[in-house]
């Protein structure tokens, strides 16, 4: 079946098998290898993508369901230079084996897009669908807070620049 959708801000048209999972389609056909398969049952969040602004387990939906939708993967955030969250995970040592990390970053992105200054409980709630076997979560929470600070600083800088321009 032919599907048309937006992947990382690019228009895609592709003939896809009807019963292929979005996870396999994104990894194998689209070569988006940041999308990982952990459990394959909607439990671990390693396969998290952003679908129409929400974090979604791509192992639980079919590729045909992407038709007409907007999808982001970690590759897309890199392409547009949206790397504050990744940098924060690295700076805080919130990455060990790294298998879970793309999924965590996509869930963090959705959280901070909707709530730029979350408290600990809000972070835990937003990331509860993502499992990490290595880090023990404390550093991940610290990384999300650092990302929140970095993004706020960036926005202030942009706002300052706009202000300067308007003042000229």
Q: Does 38 bind ligand FES (CB under 6 A)?
A: yes
Stretch that binds ligand FES, among 9-17, 35-43, 61-69, 143-151 (CB under 6 A): 35-43
Print the binding letters for residues 115-144 with ligand FES: x by CB under 6 A, - otherwise. -----------------xxxx---------
* Cβ pair 85, 65 in contact under 8 A: no
Residues between 59 and 78 with contacts to ligand FES, criterion CB under 6 A? 59
Nearest CA-CA partner of 97 in 130, 127, 133, 45: 133
Q: Is 39 in the site for ligand FES (CB under 6 A)?
A: yes
Strand positions, DSSP E, the chain = 2-7, 10-15, 48-51, 54-57, 70-72
Q: Of 86, 74, 37, 75, whose CA–CA distance to 57 is shortest?
A: 37
Please tell me whether residue 35 binds ligand FES under the rule CB under 6 A. Answer: no
Q: Where on the chain is the footprint of ligand FES (CB under 6 A)? A: 37-40, 42-47, 57, 59, 95-100, 132-135
């Amino acid at each position: 079946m032919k599907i048309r959708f937006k992947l990382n801000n690019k228009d895609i048209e592709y003939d896809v098998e009807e019963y292929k999972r979005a996870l396999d389609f994104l990894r194998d056909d689209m070569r988006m290898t940041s999308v990982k398969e952990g459990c394959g049952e909607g439990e671990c969040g390693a396969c998290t993508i952003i679908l129409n602004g929400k974090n979604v387990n791509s192992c639980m939906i079919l590729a045909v369901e992407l038709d007409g939708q907007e999808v982001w993967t970690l590759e897309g955030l890199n392409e547009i230079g949206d790397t504050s969250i990744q940098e924060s995970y690295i700076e805080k040592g919130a990455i060990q084996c790294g298998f879970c990390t793309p999924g965590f970053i996509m869930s963090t992105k959705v959280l901070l897009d909707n709530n730029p200054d979350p408290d600990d409980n809000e972070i835990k709630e937003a990331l509860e669908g993502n499992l990490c076997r290595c880090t023990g979560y404390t550093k991940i929470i610290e990384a999300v807070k650092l990302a929140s600070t970095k993004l706020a600083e960036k926005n202030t800088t942009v706002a300052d620049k706009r202000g300067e321009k308007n003042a000229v």
